[in-house]
Structure 1
Amino acid sequence: MSPPVSPPVPPPADRGATRIADRVVRRVAGRAAEEVLRPVGGEVVRASADVRGSRVDRIQLDVGLAYPSHLETSGADLQQRVAERTARLTGLTVSRTAVRITRLAQSPPPAVEPAVSAETAGPGGGRRPWSERRVPAAVFALIGTVVCGALLADVVAVALGRAPSDLRVRALDWLTGHGPADTAVAVGAAVATVAGLWLLLTAFTPGLRGRLAMVGPRTSLDRPAAAALVRHRAADVPGVARVRVTAGRRRIVIRARITFGDPDEVRDTLKDVSRDVVTGLGLAKPPRVRVRVSRDAYWQPPRPKDPDHKEATPDVPAHAPAPTPTPAP
């Protein structure tokens, strides 16, 4: 008797499907980023991933880097390492990896030479990343869902032989009795126009005004982090007692108060130091540096007394009688 013949095994593609959840890819990307950042003193603040089938559309990483370090090179290296590591461990294709630098630590990392320049930057380098506009999209999607759902429910009810809703009947009666010249209609049209213009503005502008675009592809730096770097270096200039730095998109303003030294020399030193810091950030469009210096209030020793100067004494008449002592009780 011959042994039973087992049925042929179908190929792996026909056996089923394997789906990897977003949170799994998020954790893998976060662990991959930690493998790169921990040896040099960095940290992962937040990680997110968007999976579509066998492709990862986007990996977003908010990280903290160690100071001092070349931010442009560190961001580009982190992007490449996370994308390669995530693709190798999950088997998915990583389409985009975005890195956002949100804080700086004080532990010094090993020296890293710049590897990416404005000429060799990949696609998307030098452009500020676009905001996802989650809040406006969610608000308008919710409003549209509620309105369309109410209309659909009323239409289905009418098709089933029921009477239309009282709200729709009153709305139609009101619309038939009011024209474009009415105040209520004009106000509604103005509100709809403003909402439409706002949607167009959010669609055609990148947003994320708090970030500065870097030379590396899809790499940005928060403006508070840039201000902290400049303030850290400006505080080491001799004579500077207090310093405040404001980082904008086109200029960085430094307001310093000094206790000693020539204000013009301190101002020139602050400009040179700040420009060196801004140049080392690897920004696509380095902002201009403006420095304002003022003297701080400081203690002054009292003036020495003049030996020839005598203190003024009250004039006492010569004929005034001497005061008599008062007997004790």
Structure 2
Amino acid sequence: MSEDPEGSAEGIEEPPPAKVRRLRAPRTAAAALVATALLVAAGALLYDVVAVRAGQPARRWRAQLADELATRHLDDLWVLVGAGAAVLLGGWLLWLALAPGLRKWLQLRPYGDTTAAIDRAGVGHLLADRAAGLTGIEDLRIRVRRRRVRVRLTGPADPASVQRQLRDELARVGLARELRLDVRAARGAGAADGPERERVAV
């Protein structure tokens, strides 16, 4: 019994692409700022505690702080303001710790152990360059988001044809996560009177 090589080849399914983790910002500046503030506060408090243990009087600021904490009620205005500021600061630091950041960058498909990314504005300019070679486009507006690309064009160009051309250009970029492409025509709305115009937004 002979085997059909074409039929056997069709039965082989390609493995799904590996999941690419989103790039995360190092948060170097925020981490350095928080570490410096905590180091200064802890150092000042530790110095005053050691001085008191050595027989010297406590610093005025620490004695005053302890007295304020012992005498002020929880419904005091300054207590509420300080608590609110502490909550806001803690929420901001928590967001910095958990959020990946780098929202202006789109990750490319990994090649071996190499990880690269491209700016969203760069993707928009690549699409604008591809659209510049097409006929019938009087005005072009491109907005690149993390998961979608919105294109608004003015002119007699066919939106379906423009979408195919731009989709091919997106495939050439090699993004790790495919972007949804939405091309729509706005005929007669803000048409350009002179040469073709292109706008890229991120």
Q: Please report the TM-score for the alignment, with normalisation by the length of structure 1.
A: 0.49
CA distance in 1, matches of 2:132, 2:67: 71
CA distance in 1, matches of 2:120, 2:21: 15
Name the structure 1 match of 2:91.
Answer: 197
Name the structure 1 match of 2:146.
Answer: 249
| 5+ long unaligned stretches in structure 1 | 1-116, 300-329
- Letter of the 1:208 partner, please give it: L
Task: Check the 8 A contact 2:139/2:192 in 1, yes or no.
Answer: no
* CA deviations over 1:79-123 (Å, ceiling 9, x no partner): xxxxxxxxxxxxxxxxxxxxxxxxxxxxxxxxxxxxxx98565xx
- 111, 118, 130: which is aligned to 2:24? 130
CA distance in 1, matches of 2:148, 2:17: 26
Name the structure 2 match of 1:289.
Answer: 181
After the TM superposition, which residues 171-210 of structure 1 pair with which residues of structure 2 at under 5 Å, given as runs?
171-210=65-104
- Letter of the 2:181 partner, please give it: V
Q: Percent identity?
A: 33
Q: For the pair shown, which has the larger CA radius of gyration, 1 or 2?
A: 1
Q: 1:205 and 1:297, CA in 2 relative to 1: closer, same or farther beyond 3 A?
A: closer
Q: 1:166 and 1:298, CA in 2 relative to 1: closer, same or farther beyond 3 A?
A: closer
Q: Secondary structure at the match of 1:132?
A: coil
CA distance in 2, matches of 1:144, 1:215: 40
1:272 paired to 2:164: yes
Q: 1:136 and 1:297, CA in 2 relative to 1: closer, same or farther beyond 3 A?
A: closer
CA distance in 2, matches of 1:275, 1:127: 23
After the TM superposition, which residues 318-329 of structure 1 pair with which residues of structure 2 at under 5 Å, given as runs?
none
Q: 1:186 and 1:118, CA in 2 relative to 1: closer, same or farther beyond 3 A?
A: farther
Q: 1:139 and 1:238, CA in 2 relative to 1: closer, same or farther beyond 3 A?
A: same
CA distance in 2, matches of 1:119, 1:269: 29
TM-fit CA distance, 1:297: 4.5
TM-fit CA distance, 1:246: 1.6
After the TM superposition, which residues 290-305 of structure 1 pair with which residues of structure 2 at under 5 Å, given as runs?
290-293=182-185, 294-295=187-188, 296-298=191-193
1:160 paired to 2:49: no
| 5+ long unaligned stretches in structure 2 | 1-13, 195-202
Q: Secondary structure at the match of 1:158?
A: helix
CA distance in 1, matches of 2:109, 2:192: 42
Task: Check the 8 A contact 2:138/2:192 in 1, yes or no.
Answer: no
After the TM superposition, which residues 307-326 of structure 1 pair with which residues of structure 2 at under 5 Å, given as runs?
none
Name the structure 2 match of 1:212.
Answer: 106
Task: Check the 8 A contact 1:253/1:291 in 2, yes or no.
Answer: yes
1:232 paired to 2:132: no
Task: Check the 8 A contact 1:235/1:242 in 2, yes or no.
Answer: no
Higher RCO (C-alpha under 8 Å, 6+ residues apart): 2
- Letter of the 1:252 partner, please give it: V
- Letter of the 1:197 partner, please give it: G
- Letter of the 2:25 partner, please give it: S
Name the structure 2 match of 1:222.
Answer: 119
CA distance in 1, matches of 2:20, 2:131: 26
Task: Check the 8 A contact 2:107/2:177 in 1, yes or no.
Answer: yes
Q: Secondary structure at the match of 2:174?
A: coil
CA distance in 1, matches of 2:115, 2:162: 31
* CA deviations over 1:20-66 (Å, ceiling 9, x no partner): xxxxxxxxxxxxxxxxxxxxxxxxxxxxxxxxxxxxxxxxxxxxxxx
Q: 1:118 and 1:220, CA in 2 relative to 1: closer, same or farther beyond 3 A?
A: farther
Task: Check the 8 A contact 1:212/1:220 in 2, yes or no.
Answer: yes
CA distance in 1, matches of 2:144, 2:44: 48
TM-fit CA distance, 1:219: 2.3
Number of corresponding residues: 175
CA distance in 1, matches of 2:148, 2:91: 29
Greater fraction helix: 2
